[in-house]
A and B are shown apart, each in its own frame.
Chain A
C-alpha cells in the first residue's frame, strides 16, 4: 500500500470516529448522578443538606450533563442540517399559498441552517423569488426562536414535556404572526429598493458525501459548543446559587400566577435583553423551582431568544420602522398569549 493511500484511509476513518465515541458518551451520561455523588459527598466530603452543598452538587451535575447533551445533539443536528439549505427551503416555499406557506416556512425554519448575519441576503433571496412577505416572516421568527441550543437546554433542565411545549408554541407563534403580517399587506413598509433588486441565477447545492456530513456535524459542535459553553457555565452557576440559597416560593409573589402583570412585564424586559438561550435557560429553570409560573417564564425566554435587538438592527436595512414595530408587536402579543394560556392551564 502506498503511503498516500494509507494516509487517505486514515483520514476517512477519523471522520467516523465520533460514531465510535458514542458508547463512551452514554456511559458517562448514564453514570453522571453517581459520579457527582461520589465527588461531592465522598471526595470533597461535604455534609448533605447545606446551602453550599446543594448549590455545588447542582453545578457539578448540571454543567457536564448539559454540555454532554449539547455536544451530542448539535452533532446530530449538524448532520441533519446538511440535508437542508436556505436554497432548498426557498424552492419548497415558492408558489405556496399563505397559510400552507406559513406552516411550511415555520417548520423549515427549525431545520434550515440559519445565522442572523445572513438574515438580509436570506430575506432578499426569499422576497426576490416571489415568496410572500408573511411567509418570509414565519421563517424569520421560527429560525432563531426554535434553535437547537434552546431545545437541548430545555430538555436537559426541564424535561421533554417543556421542550415540546416550547417547540410547539414557538411554531404556533411563527405561523400565526407570519400569517397576520401577510394579511396586513405591509409590503409598503419594505424598503423600495428590495423589490427592484435583480438577483443572480439561483445556485445549485453542493453534493456532499456522508463523511462530509459527519464533518459538518463536528464543525457545528466546534462552532456552537465552542461559543456557548461559557454561557452554559455562567448560567448554571447563577442557577446553582439560586437553587441553593434563594428561599422556596421567593419568586411566587412577583413572577407567580397570581401576578397577572408578570407576563407582559417579562416580555417587555425580555425584548431589549439580548442573551443567548445557553445563559438564560439555566437561570429561568432555577426561578421556576422557586415559584415563578411556567407561562411567565416561557414568555420571558421566548422574548429574550426570539426577539433580539441586534437582529432588528440588521433587519432595519430592508424594513421601514413601522414594519419593525409591527413585527415586534405581533410576535410580542403572540408570546403574551402563550404566557397567559400556560399560567391558566398549569
Chain B
C-alpha cells in the first residue's frame, strides 16, 4: 500500500511523517511513505487542514497528528 502525507512543510507535517514511518515499521507493513507538498495536489484531496494522511488515495484523517499507536490501529483496520 501507499501512504501519502499531505502538508506544506510545517512542523506538524514532519511530526506526522515521522509517526507514520514509525507505525509502518512497527507493524512490518509493506508500505511506502511519501510526502506531498504541492498545494494544488493537496487541495485535490479536498483537505482544508494539514497535515493529512492518505492511504491508497483515500483520506484517512486530516488536521491533526495522532499518536503512533493510534495510527497503527487505523492502519490495521484498513
Q: Which residues of A contact B (CB under 8 A)?
A: 85-87, 90, 113, 115, 117-118, 120-122, 124-125, 128, 193, 197-203, 206, 317
Contacts and interface: CB of A to CB of B under 8 A. Distances in A.
Given A120-B8, A200-B45, 7 more contacts: A113-B49, A113-B63, A115-B12, A121-B42, A121-B49, A122-B49, A200-B43
Contacts of B63: 85-86, 113, 118
5 contacts: A86-B63, A117-B8, A117-B13, A120-B39, A200-B47
Chain B residues touching A, majority SS: mixed
Given A113-B63, A203-B59, A206-B61, A121 B43 contact: yes
Nearest to A123: B48
Contact of B46 (A85, A113, A203): A203
A200 B49 contact: no
Contact of A121 (B11, B12, B48, B61): B48
B44 A198 contact: yes
Q: Which of A117, A197, A201 gathers most chain B CB within 10 Å?
A: A117
Contacts of B11: 117
Contacts of B10: 115, 117
Nearest to A124: B43
B43 A203 contact: no
Nearest to A206: B61
B51 to A, nearest CB: 9
Interface residues of B, number: 20
A116 B63 CA distance: 12
Given A203-B59, A203-B62, A206-B61, A121 B40 contact: no
Nearest to A199: B43
B63 to A, nearest CB: 7
Nearest to B43: A199
A117 B63 CA distance: 11
A90 B48 contact: yes
A197 B43 contact: yes
A198 B44 CA distance: 6
B48 A86 contact: yes
A85 B62 CA distance: 11
B47 A203 contact: yes
A201 to B, nearest CB: 5
A128 B40 contact: no
Nearest to B12: A117
B49 A199 contact: no
Interface in B4-52: 8, 10-13, 39-40, 42-50
Q: Which of B44, B50, B63 gathers most chain A CB within 10 Å?
A: B63
A199 B63 CA distance: 17
B49 A202 contact: no
Contact of B49 (A118, A128, A198, A317): A118
A120 B41 CA distance: 13
A247 B39 CA distance: 53
Nearest to A117: B10
A87 B45 CA distance: 13
B12 to A, nearest CB: 7
Contacts of A199: 43-44, 46
Contacts of B49: 85-86, 113, 115, 118, 121-122
Nearest to A196: B40
B46 A193 contact: no
B59 to A, nearest CB: 6
B50 A117 contact: yes
A200 B44 CA distance: 4
A288 B44 CA distance: 49
A118 B43 contact: no
Nearest to B62: A203
B40 A197 contact: yes
